[in-house]
Amino acid sequence: MLKYKTVPDPTPEEGQVLINIKAIGLNRAETYFREGAWGEDVARISGIECVGTVKSDPSGRFAPGTKVIAMMGGMGRNINGSYAEMVSVPTESVVVVQSELSWEDLAAIPETYATAWACLTRNLDLQAGQTLLVRGATSALGRAAMNLAVDMGANVIGTTRNPDNFGVISDHGATPMQDSPNLSEQILKDHGPMDGVLEITGNSTLVDSLAMIRNDGHLCLAGFLGGTAPLKDFDPLMHMPSGVQFSFFGSAFVFGTPAFPLDQIPFQSFIQAVEQGKYNARPSQVFALKDMASAHALMDANGADGKLVVTPS
C-alpha cells in the first residue's frame, strides 16, 4: 500500500548527496516493486528517479543549489527513493544538467529517454536506414524510442491496440499499426522482416515479435505492459529465427552501476531536443505527492497515456 506520511529528513551518508526534489517521474518498475513482482526486497520509500537541486554534498563535488537529475543506484530498492520531498542518493546516481524547462517537463525525460537510448544504441544496435518496430509505442518508453529512432534515421513502425492512438504514433514520425496476437503475419506481408523490435508489451507478445525479425536482427525486451506472467512453452528451436540477437534491458537494475555509469548517457542532448521542440516529451499528467496512489492506479489501468509526473508541493 502507498501511504502519505511525514518521516524524518534523510541524512547523506559517505558517498551520498542530499537533494531537494522538485519533480518525480513515475515508472512501471515502481508498480512492480509495490506489487512484489520483482521480489519483496524493496525500500519503504519508492521511486527510482527525480529532478531537483542539491541541498548538501559532504564530498564537496556538487555545490548547493546545483540543478541535477538523480536516478537508480539502488533508489527504491535497497535505499529509500524519490517519492518524497528530499532524497539522499549515491554520488554516482547524480548528473548535473542545464535546462530552462519547467521542473515537471524536465522530470519526464531522464529514466525514459536513458532507457530508450540504451535499448536502441546498445541492445538493438540500430543504424540509419534500418526498420524498427516499437511494440507498445504509445507508452512513455515507446514515445521516447520513436523520437530517438526517427532522429537516428531509422524507419519506425509503432503499434497500439487502440486505433484512436494512431495520431500519437504519426506525430512521433512513425508508421502506426494496430497490434494483434498475430501481428508478425501482417508485418511480414506488408513490410518484410524487421531489422529490430523493441518489445515493450512483454512476454505476452514476445514469441510473435521474434517471428518478424530477419536473420541476424535484434530484439530487445524492455517492458511488460501486457503483464509480468512468465513465458510458457518457449522453444528457441521453433520460436527464434536463426541468428536473432535476443536481449533484455532492465534500467532499474543497471543504471548507476559500474557496468553502466550515468555519465555515458547524453542527458543534455535529450533536454536540448525537448527544449527545441524536436522531441515531444511533456508529461501526460502531473499529480501531487499526496495523490501518488491515484497516479499508480492510473498506471495499473494502463491509462497513463504517456509519462506521469509527481510534484512534492
Q: Is residue 221 included in any domain, yes or no? A: yes
Same domain for 130 and 221? yes
Q: Is residue 208 included in any domain, yes or no? A: yes
Residue 184: its pLDDT value, please?
Answer: 97
Tens-digit pLDDT profile for residues 62-74: 999 999 999 998 8
Mean pLDDT of 178-183: 95
* pTM flag (> 0.85): yes
Tens-digit pLDDT profile for residues 71-97: 998 899 889 999 999 999 999 999 999
Same domain for 218 and 269? no
Mean pLDDT of 86-112: 96
Residue 219 pLDDT > 80: yes
Q: What CATH number corresponds to the domain at position 304?
A: 3.90.180.10
Same domain for 98 and 156? no
Same domain for 188 and 72? no
Q: Is residue 264 included in any domain, yes or no? A: yes
Q: Is residue 3 included in any domain, yes or no? A: no
Q: How far is CA 113 from CA 95, 107, 161, in A?
A: 14, 11, 23
Q: Is residue 55 included in any domain, yes or no? A: yes
Could you tell me if 209 and 137 are in contact, meaning their C-beta atoms sit under 8 angstroms apart?
Answer: no
Could you tell me if 201 and 222 are in contact, meaning their C-beta atoms sit under 8 angstroms apart?
Answer: no
Q: Is residue 2 included in any domain, yes or no? A: no
Same domain for 97 and 220? no
The span from the CA of 99 to the CA of 141, in Å, is: 21
Last residue of a domain, one of 197, 230, 249: 249
Residue 234: its pLDDT value, please?
Answer: 85
Q: Is residue 9 included in any domain, yes or no? A: no
Mean pLDDT rounded to a whole number for the chain: 94
Angle at CA of residue 124, ends 136 and 309, nearest 5° = 45
Q: 50 - beta bridge partners?
A: 70
Total structural domains in the chain?
Answer: 2
CA 87, 148, 269, 288 torsion-angle sign: negative
Helix (H, G, I), strand (E, B) or coil at 185: helix
Same domain for 203 and 241? yes
Same domain for 135 and 227? yes
φ and ψ of 239, to 5 deg: -105, -10
Same domain for 210 and 285? no
Mean pLDDT of 229-249: 87
Residue 141: its pLDDT value, please?
Answer: 97
Q: Which of 68-72, 128-132, 209-213, 226-230 has the lowest mean pLDDT?
A: 226-230
Which residues form the domain of 288? 16-108+255-311
Same domain for 218 and 275? no
The span from the CA of 222 to the CA of 198, in Å, is: 7
Last residue of a domain, one of 249, 266, 282: 249
The pairing of strands 155-160 and 175-178 is: parallel
Same domain for 238 and 290? no
Q: Is residue 281 included in any domain, yes or no? A: yes
Last residue of a domain, one of 224, 249, 274: 249
Residue 38: its pLDDT value, please?
Answer: 72
Same domain for 22 and 95? yes
The span from the CA of 283 to the CA of 105, in Å, is: 6
Q: Where are the alpha helices (DSSP H) in 97-225?
A: 103-107, 110-118, 140-151, 166-171, 183-190, 206-210
Tens-digit pLDDT profile for residues 141-151: 999 999 999 99
Same domain for 245 and 115? yes
Q: What CATH number corresponds to the domain at position 166?
A: 3.40.50.720
